[in-house]
Amino acid sequence: MSESALLRISGLGRDYDRGGVRALHDVSFSAEQGQTVALIGPSGCGKSTLLSLIGLLDRPDRGRIEVAGIDLATVRRGPEFRARQIGFVFQFHHMVPTMTLQENVEAPMVALGVPRAERRDRAAELLARMDLGSRAGFLPTHVSGGERQRAAVARALVNRPALVLADEPTGNLDSVNGERVMALLVHHARSQRALLLVATHNPQIAAAMDRRIELRDGAQV
C-alpha cells in the first residue's frame, strides 16, 4: 500500500450475527487524494457495509481503517471526526424535513463551530453552484427529488471534506440529474484534491472513475 494514501484499509472484516453472515471478508486497498474510485459488485456484496465502516457509521470486527493517517479504531468523537474529514452522500437524501435546504446544508458546519454568517455564505454559495439558489428557502418536501439530492451533495461537501463517500448517489435519479450529481462530486475531488469513493451499479459511472474495486460475496475480487 502507498505510504501517502489518504485511505488505507487492511484485512477488513464485518460479520452479522443473524445466520453468521460475513458481510465483508479480508478487504484491503489504499487510495490517494484526488482519486475517484468506484466500488462495484452485485447487490448484497458489501459495498454499503464498507462505506458505513469507513464513514464511522459502523465498526469492523477485524482489520484496520486509516483516514489521513488516523486509525479509526482510536477515534472517540466519531461525529466530530466525520464532520471534519468525511462527506457522506446516501442514495436516499436523508434531509431533515422541517428544515429548509439552506438550513440542511448549514447543519454540518454547526458541529465545527463555524460562525453563523460564514455558514450562511458557504451554504448559499454551494446551493447556487448547484442551481438551487432560488430554492434555498424551500422545505425538502416542496422541491423535486433531483433538487433534494443535489442539496444533499451540497451538505456533504460544505465542510470541504478530504474524503467523500457516496452510496448509490444516482440510484433514484433520472439520467440528467444523475449526471449532474456525479459532475458535482467529481469536480469536488478534482478541485479540492479529495478522495471520492462511489458505490454504484451504473457501468457508465464506474467506467468514468480513475479506479474500480470489485466486491463479491463480501470479498475483494
- Domain CATH for 104: 3.40.50.300
First-to-final CA distance of the chain:
17
Report if residue 157 sits inside a domain.
yes
Report if residue 110 sits inside a domain.
yes
What the block records as the C-alpha cell of 4 is 501517502
Report if residue 143 sits inside a domain.
yes
Full residue range of the structural domain in which residue 182 is found: 34-58+73-220
Report if residue 25 sits inside a domain.
no
- CA gap 64, 92 in Å, rounded: 28
When pLDDT is averaged across residues 105-119 and rounded to a whole number, the result is 92
Q: Which residues contact 23 (CB under 8 A, 6 or more apart)?
A: 14, 15, 16, 46, 49, 218
Report if residue 92 sits inside a domain.
yes
pTM for this model (two decimals): 0.90
Report the pLDDT value the prediction gives residue 49, as an integer from 0 to 100. Answer: 93
- CA gap 199, 213 in Å, rounded: 9
Q: Between 48 and 79, where is the model more confident?
A: 48
Report if residue 42 sits inside a domain.
yes
Report the pLDDT value the prediction gives residue 146, as an integer from 0 to 100. Answer: 86
- CA gap 3, 72 in Å, rounded: 17
- pLDDT tens readout for residues 54-93: 999 899 999 999 999 999 999 988 888 888 899 999 877 7
Query: What is the total count of domains within the chain?
Result: 1
Q: Under a CB-based contact definition with an 8 Å cutoff, are residues 33 and 193 in contact?
A: yes
Report if residue 17 sits inside a domain.
no
Report if residue 21 sits inside a domain.
no
